[in-house]
Each structure stands twice: as C-alpha cells, then as structure tokens.
Amino acid sequence: MDFHAALALGLPLGIGIAAIGSGIGLGLIGQGAMQAIGRQPEATAKIQLAMIIIAALAEALTIYAFVTMFLLNSRI
C-alpha cells in the first residue's frame, strides 16, 4: 500500500472514528441535560446554555478531524 492509498483509506476512517467518539459524548451530554430539564424544568435556560457549551467542545473534536481531512485532501 503506497502513501496515497493509505491516505485515501485513512482520512474517511479517521473522521468516522472521531465521529463515533464525539457522537457518544454528545449523546451522554444530551441525556444528562434532558434528565436535568425533566427533573427541574424551571432551570431549562441555564441547563441548555451549559449543554450547548459542552456540546460545542465535544463536537469540536470531529471538526478537527474534518479540518485535518481538508488539509490532507489535496495530497491524495
């Protein structure tokens, strides 16, 4: 397997693996937030704000893989 084939195979795989990780993370965040809102509906605004921030942090990991893909895309 030469460099280009390895890159062409590895880039989508890398994004997929990163997406699995942040998907699990986002699911856990959403679960926690929904349970918290269900238990305490009057604190919805605060919980949503914290949820969005943490969701953005978790989601950023996939975005990094995505940006890496675009950086290396031209070398395939």
Q: Could you tell me how many residues of this chain bind another protein (CB under 8 A)? A: 14
Residues between 43 and 62 with contacts to another protein, criterion CB under 8 A: 49, 52-53, 56-57, 59-60
Contact pick of 9, 13, 24, 67 for another protein (by CB under 8 A): 67
**Contact present, 14 and 65 (Cβ < 8 Å):** yes
Contact 11, 73 (CB under 8 A): yes
Q: How buried is residue 62: exposed, middle or buried, by Cβ count under 10 Å (0-12/13-18/19+)?
A: buried
Task: By CB under 8 A, tell whether 70 contacts another protein.
Answer: yes
By CB under 8 A, name the binding residues for another protein: 49, 52-53, 56-57, 59-60, 63-64, 66-67, 70, 73-74
